[in-house]
Amino acid sequence: MSKSLRRFVLVAAATALIAGCGSDKTNNCPGASSLVETSVATVFVPGKSQDTGNILYTVEVTGVQASCSVDKLALNSSSDVVISFKATRAPNGSSATYKVPYFVAISQEDRILAKKIFQTQFSFEPGQMTTTFTDDIDSADIVAGKDKKTFDYLILVGLQLTKEQYDYNRASGRLNP
């Protein structure tokens, strides 16, 4: 794993834990959280510059809730994850439908063990500036490794950002340097 990716994963895991989304050892479920670094995406009008006047919409992950079933030894778990989103745009009067890619990853300490990309669709009604929506992921399964339990793992959710979106977040102060 590259040094920068390792640092990103460590910061992400620490951020998730600091945000109070750590593992729940009372029921042996893995923790679930969104990554601050990938929780907001700004989409610009295609072919236009990254100027605030050219923002098509902004979407953010506003919540991650997980419920799980786990075996008696806490070696296997299956979690259902509900991700909440909020999208905003400038008033323009027309209806529009968009798709947003996001990921669900399983991490353990400083390593991403699995990652899957999903896509959800949302719509703005005519004149609507804000919309909220959810997407459900069934069966985020974890099989604990040697000397580990299911609560030693973390389910991480984020928007699948392009390099330009990540750079925009960084330049606009949404990310720590």
Contact between residue 79 and residue 64 where contact means Cβ atoms under 8 Å apart: no
Listed in order, strand segments (DSSP E) in 15-151 are 31-34, 40-44, 55-70, 76-88, 96-108, 111-124, 130-143
pLDDT of 115 > 90? The answer is yes
Look up the pTM and report it. 0.82
Res 4: pLDDT? 40
Helix locations, the chain, DSSP H: 3-18, 163-171
pLDDT band at 20 (very low <50, low <70, confident <90, very high): very low
Sorted by sequence, the CB contacts under 8 Å of residue 49 that are 6+ apart come out as none
pLDDT band at 176 (very low <50, low <70, confident <90, very high): low
pLDDT of 134 > 70? The answer is yes
Lowest mean pLDDT among 11-15, 142-146, 149-153: 11-15
pLDDT band at 92 (very low <50, low <70, confident <90, very high): confident
Tokens of 130: 């804000």
